[in-house]
């Protein structure tokens, strides 16, 4: 028994005293592995659909994708928010408060997503029209949307659980929440799309089943393997309801910029889909969908940087250790710069073979994508730095600033860029809208920071 306890102590992460770089690496590499795997599984999903069903199916999934991004946005808001709030409680030795916050986040977020999924199902046709779905793609969009909605509820517990388990000092187990369900997703994708010929519905069912498995893994951890963090039974009373509402507000405020990050991705899809289908038709949306399948890899890698630094920064900020906060921020920015440059290079110089995984060479969508993806790739370095900096402001609870920066890159600069740049040059302007938005956001961040120093 003593030996078992000793091993648990050895595996426990000390956010307050361990050296920053080894501590960051201990969290970052499992987190990076899990997120890259998750992105690659999404890419595999696109490859199976593109090769097994066709370019129209890719376009249909791209039109429905904002639903998935909205779901992950809600999950990130609660996951990042409870991670920040619970980190501060743990740094002050208040484990009970941390456990109550975690339970509230899981229960409220799951209930909220269930309500959203039911509303979308009831009004699915007008909702799909709102997303820009054409008459030709409407049946494919509906076939994909209906089976994916139950999976959206499972995604909530999967993603919040990942934050919580990482905070509990088990980053390797948190990584398995992406890896194991991801492998299952690939197997089921192949089975449902090719041998069983279930089309886009098969791809959606595969994703939902995989998310259900991940959600089950979170429940198993919280019951049998948890170290510090536990599910806490909530009281049923007016006082408890008031306290839950107050705590959810705190968590939502802290995690809101993370949700805006996903909503920014949704806006990229929505605005891009509208512009591409208007200017280049369904082939244009199919070409744009390739960039939308590849770009989440960049998003996930840089999210791994921000999420790995977040518990270190939050814990030491709560403990008043500014020197360790500064060291963690600098390491986060260096890592983000390297990841952003690598992503830009890979997407620019490997464009043709990457596009060939999704679309058949010589087709019109393939030609559109090969001309545009290298332009779109220039956004990666700006995006990497923006996410790292916004993650820092979240971690130290400067939520207003983090929110403003997210709104700039996801709305204030993005919509005008998609509106004006295609007028100046088509189709190049459509592909350069996202890089322009990310670059302008980084310039604003740098100017604001310079003003703060003065």
Over residues 200-235, the pLDDT tens digits come to: 999 999 999 999 999 999 999 988 888 888 887 777
418-429 tens-digit pLDDT: 999 998 888 899
Predicted confidence at residue 5, as pLDDT, reads: 35
Q: Is residue 15 in a domain?
A: no
**Kind plus residue range of the DSSP H or E element containing 166:** helix 138-167
Predicted confidence at residue 141, as pLDDT, reads: 93
Nearest to 318 by CA among 19, 24, 87: 87
Q: Is residue 5 in a domain?
A: no
Predicted confidence at residue 407, as pLDDT, reads: 87
Neighbours of 345 (CB within 10 A): 13
Q: Is residue 242 in a domain?
A: yes
pLDDT > 90: what percent of the chain? 46
Q: Is residue 9 in a domain?
A: no
Residue 299: exposure state from Cβ atoms within 10 A (0-12, 13-18, ≥19): buried
Which residue has tokens 């790995």? 308
Q: Is residue 190 in a domain?
A: yes
In the structure encoding, which two tokens stand for residue 437, read together?
């938005």
pLDDT > 70: what percent of the chain? 96
Q: Is residue 370 in a domain?
A: yes
343-357 tens-digit pLDDT: 999 999 999 999 999
Predicted confidence at residue 201, as pLDDT, reads: 94
386-419 tens-digit pLDDT: 999 999 998 888 888 988 998 898 889 998 999 9
Query: Quick check: 253 pLDDT over 80?
Result: yes
Contact 143, 200 (CB under 8 A): yes
Q: Is residue 10 in a domain?
A: no
289-311 tens-digit pLDDT: 999 888 878 888 888 899 899 88
3-state secondary structure of 403: helix
Q: Which domain holds residue 389?
A: 26-453
Q: Return d(Cα 205, Cα 188) in angstroms, integer.
A: 8
Q: Is residue 95 in a domain?
A: yes
Total domains, the chain: 1
b/e burial code for range 142-159 (CB count within 10 A of at least 16 → b): bbbbebbbbbbbbbbbbb
Centroid of chain to Cα 291: 16
Centroid of chain to Cα 276: 24
């Amino acid at each position: 028994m003593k030996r078992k306890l000793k091993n648990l102590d050895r595996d426990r992460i000390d956010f307050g005293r361990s050296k920053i770089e080894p501590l960051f690496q201990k969290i970052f590499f499992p987190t990076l592995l899990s997120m890259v795997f998750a992105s690659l599984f999404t890419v595999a999903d696109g490859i199976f659909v593109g090769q097994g069903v066709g370019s129209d199916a890719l376009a249909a999934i791209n039109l429905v994708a904002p639903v998935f991004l909205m779901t992950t946005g809600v999950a990130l808001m609660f996951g990042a928010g409870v991670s920040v709030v619970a980190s501060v409680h743990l740094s002050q030795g208040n484990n009970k408060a941390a456990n109550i916050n975690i339970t509230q986040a899981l229960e409220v977020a799951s209930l909220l997503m269930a309500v959203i999924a039911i509303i979308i199902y009831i009004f699915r046709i007008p909702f799909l029209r709102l997303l820009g779905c054409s008459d030709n793609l409407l049946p494919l969009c509906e076939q994909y949307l209906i089976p994916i909605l139950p999976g959206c509820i499972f995604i909530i517990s999967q993603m919040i659980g990942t934050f919580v388990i990482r905070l509990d000092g088990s980053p390797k187990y948190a990584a398995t929440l992406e890896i194991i369900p991801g492998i299952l997703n690939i197997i089921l994708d192949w089975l449902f799309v090719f041998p069983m010929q279930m089309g886009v519905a098969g791809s959606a069912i595969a994703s939902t089943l995989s998310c259900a498995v991940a959600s089950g893994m979170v429940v198993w951890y919280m019951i049998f393997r948890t170290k510090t963090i536990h599910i806490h039974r909530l009281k049923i009373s007016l006082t408890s309801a008031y306290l839950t509402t107050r705590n959810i507000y705190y968590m939502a405020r802290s995690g809101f910029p993370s949700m805006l990050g996903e909503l920014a991705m949704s806006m990229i899809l929505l605005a891009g889909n509208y512009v591409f289908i208007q200017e280049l038709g369904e082939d244009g949306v199919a070409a744009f969908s390739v960039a939308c399948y590849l770009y989440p890899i960049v998003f996930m890698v840089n999210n791994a940087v921000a999420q790995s630094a977040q518990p270190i920064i939050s814990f030491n900020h709560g403990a008043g250790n500014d020197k360790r906060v500064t060291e963690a921020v600098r390491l986060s920015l260096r890592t983000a710069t390297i990841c952003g440059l690598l992503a830009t290079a890979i997407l620019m110089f490997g464009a043709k073979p990457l596009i060939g995984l999704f679309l058949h060479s010589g087709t019109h969508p393939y030609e559109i994508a090969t001309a545009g993806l290298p332009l779109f790739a220039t956004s990666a370095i700006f995006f990497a730095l923006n996410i790292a900096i916004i993650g820092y402001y979240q971690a130290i609870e400067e939520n207003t600033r983090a929110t403003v920066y997210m709104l700039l890159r996801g709305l204030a600069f993005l919509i005008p860029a998609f509106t004006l740049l295609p007028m100046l040059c088509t189709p190049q302007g459509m592909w350069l809208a996202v890089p322009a938005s990310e670059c302008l956001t980084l310039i604003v961040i740098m100017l604001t920071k310079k003003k703060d120093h003065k």
